[in-house]
Structure 1
Amino acid sequence: MSPFIYSLLTHDCKPVDGSNIIVTFGYDTTVIVPIKDNNDTACRYEVDHLSEWCDTNNLLLNADQTKELIVDFRRNTDPHPPVHLKGTAVESVNSFKFLGVHISEDLTWTTGCSMLVKKTHQRLFFLRSLRKNHLSSEVITNFYRCTIESILTNCITVWYGNCSVSDRKALQRVVKTAQYIAGAPLPAIKDIYRKRCLKRAGKITKDSTHPAHTLFSLLPSGRRYRSLRTRTTRHLNSFFPTAVTLNAS
């Protein structure tokens, strides 16, 4: 009940500025603030306001566990002075783990993929132990789906589209190794990604209250969805343009 009660207590925790976003999930709270023309006043004011709100509602912000991540793709960037939380400077990091997904300042997924591969390699030991004990391929496959594939595909619709070729090959090598151990065919990572995208898109198109429902607009023919306009490759390979394209094909 603790996460549920926490959600009830924090339902009125809202950003001061309409352009800012506060995301609360369980005990994690994330503040997203766009910075224009190197003016981070809104960011600092938002952090101060959140700190005051926590004090009013008898909640404690741990400055040691709070991290700052700056995403800036400009060629010439000026260093930002650290954000302070009750007099303590918040540590600025290059990447951090958010709800099980490693997010980097350049929005690449090499760090996250490396951690996934490392974690799944540890699980392959148990897969080999099952084979040494002469368990059936069906049992080994079920074990793989529960303990390895579930890790490899965690939030896959978020990050796989923008993975590098080397990252995708590293992930697929894990599947090939598991397939050799199990002695049975296993679904490729890219096929799981496409399936998850279509499944998620199907839920969004059926839910008219979903914030992204309007992104899936049908063409006059009524058979295909209208492609989304994108300016960058990063946006083109992200979930929504990919899901629209897959539904159109």
Structure 2
Amino acid sequence: MLLVHHLTLNVAKTKELIVDFRRCREVHTPITISGAAVERVSSFRFLGVHLAEDLTWSVHTNKTVKKAQQRLFFLRRLKRFGMSPRILRTFYHCAIESILTGCITTWYGNSTAYNCKALQRVVRCSERIIGGELPSLQDIYRKRCLRKAGRIIKDSSHPSHKLFRLLPSGRRFCSIRSRTSRLRDSFFHQAIRLLNTS
């Protein structure tokens, strides 16, 4: 299939992910490109984040924990070789924390308590190896939410700038209505709550 920009879609690399929360789900006809059916998947990795068809983050957190635990092996090896706590901490921030907190503002707010505990266990294990306290993922999430919200508020050309509206008092931001917990725990709702309580 030739597109307007003269690019050809690769059917082997194209996936179909259906997100449908209706009670009476319809049967979705398969997508075909040049006569070939596109593979339908239940989860897909996009820009380092595993998106699932039910919009939960269990797949992403499980993969993240597994990848971070593999890096703990190298942290233990560095400790065994007699590296200083400063070097161990630097390695943790670069090789382990960067994995645990990748796109954290997108998924952490909607993660289950079980998934958050699994992620925090990696941090606690790292603390025992390093022999010092490390920032919790909850604190990192809060800081990054506030930082990202601050950037959006300052940038009037940002598509989401209008979501951060001040109340007439000028001290608090107007909260956004939400019918589902999935939406209530998303970034914009969380960011507004954090801004109003900070």
TM-score normalized by the length of structure 1: 0.77
Does residue 1:52 correspond to 2:2, yes or no?
Answer: yes
Query: 2:44 & 2:5 partners in 1: Cα distance?
Result: 27
Q: CA deviation at 1:59?
A: 2.1
2:194 alignment counterpart: 246
Q: Which residue of 2 aligns with 1:66?
A: 14
Aligned partner of 1:166 in structure 2 is 114
**Structure-1 residue corresponding to 2:33:** 85
Paired with 2:70 and 2:28, the residues of 1 have a C-alpha distance of: 39
Is 1:215–2:133 an aligned residue pair?
A: no
Whichever residue aligns with residue 43 of structure 2, its letter is S
What is the aligned counterpart of 1:175 among 123, 133, 138? 123
Q: Which residue of 2 aligns with 1:117?
A: 65
Q: In structure 2, how many angstroms separate the alpha carbons of the residues matched to 1:164 and 1:84?
A: 36
Indicate the residue corresponding to 1:204 in structure 2.
152
Residue identity (%): 54
Structure 1 residue ranges without an equivalent (≥5): 1-50
Show CA shifts across 1:5-24 (max 9, x none): xxxxxxxxxxxxxxxxxxxx
Match of 2:100 in 1: 152
Alignment RMSD, CA only? 1.0
User: Which residue number in structure 1 is paired with residue 175 of structure 2?
Assistant: 227
Higher relative contact order (CA 8 A, sep 6+): 2
Aligned to 2:43: 95
Structure 1 position 75, deviation (Å): 2.6
The number of aligned residues is: 197
Determine the C-alpha separation between the residues in 1 that align with 2:93 and 2:5: 43
Q: What SS is found at the alignment partner of 1:230?
A: coil
Indicate whether 1:129 and 2:77 are aligned. yes
Q: TM-score, normalised by structure 2?
A: 0.97
Task: Give the Cα–Cα distance (whole angstroms) in 2 for the partners of residues 184 and 142 of structure 1.
Answer: 12
Match in the other structure for 1:184: 132
Runs of 4+ in 1 over 4 A off after TM superposition: none
Q: How many angstroms apart in 2 are the aligned matches of 1:210 and 1:65?
A: 31
Q: Secondary structure at the match of 2:2?
A: helix
Instruction: Determine if contact 2:11/2:33 at 8 Å carries over to the other structure.
Output: yes
1:169 aligns to what SS in structure 2? helix
How many angstroms apart in 2 are the aligned matches of 1:189 and 1:157?
11
Give SS of 1:52's match.
Answer: coil
CA offsets 1:211-237 (integer angstroms, 9 cap, x no match): 111111111111111111111100000
1:97 alignment partner, SS class: strand
Q: Which one-letter code corresponds to 1:158 in the other structure?
A: T
Unaligned runs of 5+ in 2: none
The residue number in structure 1 matching 2:89 is: 141
